[in-house]
């Protein structure tokens, strides 16, 4: 409850039926736009994967996956996915998807270790996408081009929502601003990473923070990233390290920075070995996913995840993600939200 934000004077702009209709409209329209903009084909994705193959996303490395034994497979253990960051890259190889094209899927996950608040739920739904690239695309210029395409699809979806529901007013800026996490540190040296995000989002409205996972000049990372999907150590042409980042906006309903997507150019063989060494995870070289990558059995790629409930929450001007999706919430949070005009599904 300590992290729950209650916006003063908050009122829902849509009733429950309109909200459900808006959710479907946003999801249908945005994924069609994303598919067209990035040339992605939809594929079917797993809810769980086998433990011990190195396929599941370990996020920051401390979250415990939900797991269960499979009776008909001698009690071998499966894990509910955290995301499909690695699985998607394997599918690029399995489907032999050529450079310039990719795939996307509806990813559903359970993250039992999440701290529940306005933005974080036990249930995570996102569009996970991955695209085959050539080595010449492994640069920050290509990364920015991809970010702009995604942001343009978000703004087109916002326009549709505002046309459908005139009581909802657009607020996203026309352009997205780019800044490296080291530049952000130098700009706000006395602030925490979260405070720096809030400050830069409030200033520009929409920001892509580049280079998340590697240590900055203060000896700390802006945020943690697993060592085996995003490339956060390769030098880029702007003189910094990192070919990944987060799409963030300033969300006036909650008056804070709001992450919509985490994405990046993926590790090649050299970056994988380097990042495994930096994080003390060199034992992962013996896992199935990592062996395939080190054997050049998977293509170079760029990819990421875009929160479905989060995007709907923002475009429908909701104060809590529980107004968009059905999940489990503490009783005191559910009661407080209902009292403040933000009933949770």
Name the active-site residue from 106, 117, 259, 336. Answer: 259
Which pair of tokens denotes residue 293? 């990558």
**Mean pLDDT of the 28-47 span:** 96
Residue 58 above 80 pLDDT? no
pLDDT digits (tens, 9 = 90+) for 115-174: 899 999 999 999 999 999 999 999 999 999 999 999 999 999 999 999 999 999 999 999
Q: Is position 259 annotated as part of the catalytic site?
A: yes
What are the boundaries of each domain within the chain? 16-339
Q: Which helix (H) or strand (E) holds 61?
A: none
Q: Is position 128 annotated as part of the catalytic site?
A: no
Average pLDDT for the chain = 94
Confidence of residue 2 (pLDDT cuts 50, 70, 90): low
Q: Is position 111 annotated as part of the catalytic site?
A: yes
Residue 273 above 70 pLDDT? yes
Give the count of alpha carbons within 13 A of 125, CB side only: 15
Name the active-site residue from 89, 111, 225, 310. Answer: 111
**The predicted structure's pLDDT at residue 60:** 62
CA dist 292 → 67, 86, 228, 285, 296 (Å): 24, 11, 12, 9, 6
**Strand ranges inside the chain, DSSP E:** 40-42, 48-50, 67-70, 76-80, 102-110, 123-132, 177-180, 206-210, 244-251, 256-265, 301-307
**Mean pLDDT of the 36-54 span:** 92
Name the active-site residue from 25, 35, 57, 83. Answer: 57
Which pair of tokens denotes residue 194? 């979260």
Name the active-site residue from 246, 266, 268, 275. Answer: 246
Q: Give, rounded to a whole angstrom, the gap between the first and last alpha carbons of the chain.
A: 17
Token look-up 């990192």 returns: 242
pLDDT digits (tens, 9 = 90+) for 279-330: 999 999 999 999 999 999 999 999 999 999 999 999 999 999 999 999 999 9
Q: Is position 275 annotated as part of the catalytic site?
A: no
CATH number of this structure's domain 16-339: 3.30.930.10
Using a pLDDT cut of 70, give the percent of the chain over it: 98
**The predicted structure's pLDDT at residue 48:** 92
- Taking a C-beta distance cutoff of 8 angstroms, is the pair 306, 125 a contact? no
**The predicted structure's pLDDT at residue 59:** 64
Which pair of tokens denotes residue 216? 């900055």
Confidence of residue 114 (pLDDT cuts 50, 70, 90): confident
């Amino acid at each position: 409850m300590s992290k729950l934000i209650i916006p003063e004077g908050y009122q829902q702009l849509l009733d429950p039926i309109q909200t459900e209709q808006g959710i479907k409209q946003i999801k249908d329209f945005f994924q069609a736009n994303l598919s067209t903009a990035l040339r992605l084909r939809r594929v079917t994705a797993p809810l769980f994967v086998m433990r011990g193959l190195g396929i599941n996303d370990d996020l920051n490395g401390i979250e415990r996956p939900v797991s269960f034994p499979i009776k008909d497979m001698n009690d071998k253990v499966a894990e509910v996915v955290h995301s499909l960051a690695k699985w998607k890259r394997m599918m690029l190889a399995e489907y032999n998807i050529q450079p310039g094209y990719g795939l996307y899927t509806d990813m559903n996950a359970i993250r039992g270790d999440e701290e529940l608040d306005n933005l974080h739920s036990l249930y995570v739904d996102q569009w996970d996408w991955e695209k085959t690239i050539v080595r010449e695309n492994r640069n920050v210029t290509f990364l920015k081009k991809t970010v702009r395409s995604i942001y343009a699809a978000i703004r087109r979806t916002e326009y549709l929502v505002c046309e459908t529901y005139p009581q909802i007013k657009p607020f996203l800026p026309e352009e997205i601003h780019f800044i490296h996490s080291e530049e952000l540190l130098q700009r706000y040296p006395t602030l925490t990473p979260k405070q720096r995000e809030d400050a830069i989002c409030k200033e520009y409205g929409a920001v892509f923070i580049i280079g998340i996972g590697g240590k900055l000049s203060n000896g700390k990372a802006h945020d943690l990233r697993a060592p085996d999907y995003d490339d956060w150590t390769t030098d880029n042409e702007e003189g910094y390290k990192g070919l990944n980042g987060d799409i963030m906006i300033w969300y006036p309903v909650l008056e804070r920075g709001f992450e919509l997507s985490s994405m990046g150019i993926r590790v090649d063989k050299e970056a994988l070995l380097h990042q495994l060494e930096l994080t003390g995870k060199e034992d992962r070289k013996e896992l199935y996913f990592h062996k395939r990558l080190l054997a050049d059995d998977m293509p170079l790629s760029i990819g990421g995840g875009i929160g479905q409930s989060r995007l709907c929450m923002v475009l429908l001007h909701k104060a809590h993600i529980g107004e968009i999706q059905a999940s489990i919430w503490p009783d005191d949070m559910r009661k407080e939200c209902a009292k403040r005009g933000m009933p949770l599904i």
